[in-house]
Amino acid sequence: MALILFLAAASPATAAPITVEGVTFSDERGDFTLLDVTGTGSLTDPFVVVEDVTGREPILVIRFPNERFGNRIGTRNPLGMAIVKLAINNSGTTWYGYRIEPRTMPSQSSPDSDGLSLGQGWSARPSMTSNDFHHVRVVDQPNDALDFDDGRVEERQTAVFEFVLTDSTWQSEIFVLQVPKVGIACVWPPQTAVC
């Protein structure tokens, strides 16, 4: 019994998955707690995902029950949605940058060939922005990612990130890796030190 209580106390806190518009959002992979999700996923009413970030590499899991969700942002892809992420910094350190990387598998970067992207090739792709980071580098190859820098988010402050996700092949699961950059070497312009 004591061992069960110890393991329960040592396990990262997770919240119940949240389903909105038939799409399920989950914090099951740890390093953050999902607090709320609202919206429809369109450009005018994006999914607003509120997270309490406590670790180094939180991964948001997004699941689609079938292809009926469709494309809510107007690209030609079978899947398209807009997301606003509110990341509350409860990690115990200041963030000097933030990486957001959509993946089809949680343990490896998404190659260009899998169809998942941040609206790659879309001529009307909206700006990917943040309230606290003034520079963003959109990476389209060899994998897809957003690297935010030139700013800082202190503990208990909230960083806001706006971006789109598209998929030309339709996946039943998408993983959104997040990596807060905590080293001062991450301040814009990029330095050579590892963050």
pLDDT tens digits, 147-159: 999 999 999 999 9
85 in Cβ contact with 160 (< 8 Å): yes
Structural domain including 140 reads 15-186
Question: Which whole-number Å values give the CA distances from 173 to 32, 144, 176, 180, in the listed order?
Answer: 19, 16, 10, 23
**C-alpha to C-alpha distance for 22 and 126, rounded to whole angstroms:** 25
Res 144 pLDDT > 60: yes
Res 186 pLDDT > 60: no
Whether 5 maps to a domain, the answer reads no
Q: How many domains does the chain have?
A: 1
If you ran DSSP here, which 8-state letter would residue 3 be given? H
Residue 72 has a CB neighbour count (10 Å cut-off) of 21
**pLDDT tens string 90-108:** 999 999 999 999 999 999 8
% of the chain exceeding 90 in pLDDT? 70
Whether 89 maps to a domain, the answer reads yes
Whether 141 maps to a domain, the answer reads yes
Whether 2 maps to a domain, the answer reads no
pLDDT at 67: 83
pLDDT at 114: 84
pLDDT at 58: 97
User: 69: helix, coil or strand?
Assistant: helix
The position carrying tokens 């509110």 is 86
Whether 130 maps to a domain, the answer reads yes
**Confidence class of residue 10 from pLDDT cuts 50, 70 and 90?**
very low
pLDDT at 159: 98
Whether 73 maps to a domain, the answer reads yes
Burial of 90 (0-12, 13-18, 19+ CB in 10 A): middle
Whether 114 maps to a domain, the answer reads yes
**C-alpha to C-alpha distance for 100 and 9, rounded to whole angstroms:** 29
What mean pLDDT is reported for the chain?
A: 87
Please give the average per-residue pLDDT across 134-140, as a whole number.
92
Please give the average per-residue pLDDT across 113-132, as a whole number.
90
